[in-house]
Amino acid sequence: MLTKFFRISVPKYRHMYKFGLAFVLSLFAIYVEGPSIPNSSLDEISWKLSTKPAVFGDAIMLDCRLPKNSCCNRYTRRWLGGHAFRLLVMDGVSASPKKYSEVFNSETRSSKLTINALNPKDVNIPYECTYGFTTYIKELALSEDMFESYPYKPYDVNVTTVRGNILTVEIKLQPVYPKPNCTATLDGTNISDFMTITPVLRGLFYVVIIIVRYKMNPHTSPAVFKLVCKIGTKLLDIHEQNNVTCCGDSSSGEKLLSGLKKTILFTAIAFIVFAVLVTLSFFIYYKHCRKNISRRNNPRKKKKSNKHKMKRLPQLI
């Protein structure tokens, strides 16, 4: 009797059974495979970067606007990120509290995701804002009008002066994004035409080499050198030196070298003269001593000479 009932009833409701099973399976697939679902209801849910500019090392915020019919905690709110779409925050509970947090405002229907200590791994990856079964996926793409990175302090600065009154300034800045716009001045005079800026892209950021070569006027020494760079929206005082004395240092160095040469020359001449005098004195002394020694060794000659002198005395008288 029971088998007969199934044989009769099942064919009648077979289409309803298939529809219900397909509906349940589709809902289950939507719930499980949420990250792979394309954006739906774009006019109802979307997120955007609300922190401008987004500075690397600081916190940024992504603002997700939920559908108009959203109410309180009716459906689950989720933030997912990365190419694997790992869970970041669900209903205000963070998977990594030090890195991610969420603030929900029911009046404005806003779910704001805060990303602390922005680093290169946080950009150029997709983020997903989900409310119930409604989802919005977009990549947080690096762009020069939205993101900024300022160089580490202290800045690598080398100021030198060379012969010919040439002032040379070499500065290295890293990491920098976007490319900087710099101005160099000497006592208020713009000398940026004598400056070269070379940005080298390493990863997401630039290593910037700035070189200034300028021939100074001796009458402007000492002078004040100043370099200012604008990176994105921020103006940075890179270097300021108040006692640039290229010309004075060069001339004083040449005078010092000239004086040292003269001192060495005079010392050498004095030493030569002293050596000559010592040699002559020694030679005269040696000759005198030799005569005395020869006289001591031949006393007869002395007697003869004395007798000869005595013989001559009467004649003179």
Whether 308 is in a domain gets the answer no
Which of 121, 140, 159 corresponds to the end of one domain? 140
154 and 224 inside one domain: yes
Q: Minimal CA–CA distance to 139: which of 130, 128, 151, 147?
A: 128
User: What tens digit of pLDDT does each residue of 77-103 get?
Assistant: 999 999 999 999 999 999 999 999 999
In this model, does residue 302 exceed pLDDT 70?
Answer: no
User: What tens digit of pLDDT does each residue of 152-167 get?
Assistant: 999 999 988 887 788 9
108 and 176 inside one domain: no
180 and 240 inside one domain: yes
pLDDT of residue 250: 43
In this model, does residue 60 exceed pLDDT 90?
Answer: yes
In three-state secondary structure terms, 12 is: helix
Which of 140, 164, 186 corresponds to the end of one domain? 140
Distance (Å, rounded) from C-alpha 192 to C-alpha 179? Answer: 16
User: What tens digit of pLDDT does each residue of 1-36 get?
Assistant: 444 443 444 444 443 343 344 334 334 434 443 443
Number of domains composing the chain: 2
Residue 158 belongs to what domain range? 149-247
Burial, 42: exposed, middle or buried (Cβ in 10 Å; 0-12, 13-18, 19+)? exposed
Whether 299 is in a domain gets the answer no
Q: Minimal CA–CA distance to 38: which of 141, 142, 143, 126?
A: 126
**Omega into 314 within 30° of 0, i.e. cis?**
no
In CATH, what number is assigned to the domain containing residue 66?
2.60.40.10
229 and 173 inside one domain: yes
98 and 161 inside one domain: no
186's torsion region: left (phi>0), alpha (psi -120 to 50) or beta?
beta
Q: Indicate the DSSP class of residue 39.
A: P
119 and 157 inside one domain: no
How is residue 52 written in tokens?
A: 């401008």
Distance (Å, rounded) from C-alpha 104 to C-alpha 115? Answer: 15
Which of 85, 114, 140 corresponds to the end of one domain? 140
Distance (Å, rounded) from C-alpha 60 to C-alpha 52? Answer: 8
121 and 44 inside one domain: yes
Torsion angle in degrees (nearest 10) through CA of 266, 270, 275, 279: 140
The Cβ of residue 30 has, within 10 Å, a number of other Cβ atoms equal to 14
Q: List phi, psi (to 5°) of 21.
A: -65, -40
- Label residue 109 by pLDDT band (50, 70, 90): confident
- Label residue 305 by pLDDT band (50, 70, 90): low
Whether 188 is in a domain gets the answer yes
Distance (Å, rounded) from C-alpha 243 to C-alpha 266? Answer: 35
pLDDT of residue 198: 97
- Label residue 216 by pLDDT band (50, 70, 90): confident
The answer to whether 221 touches 247, Cβ cutoff 8 Å, is: yes
For residue 107, which amino acid is it? E
Q: List phi, psi (to 5°) of 144.
A: -70, -25
Whether 205 is in a domain gets the answer yes
**Cα 256 from chain centre:** 38
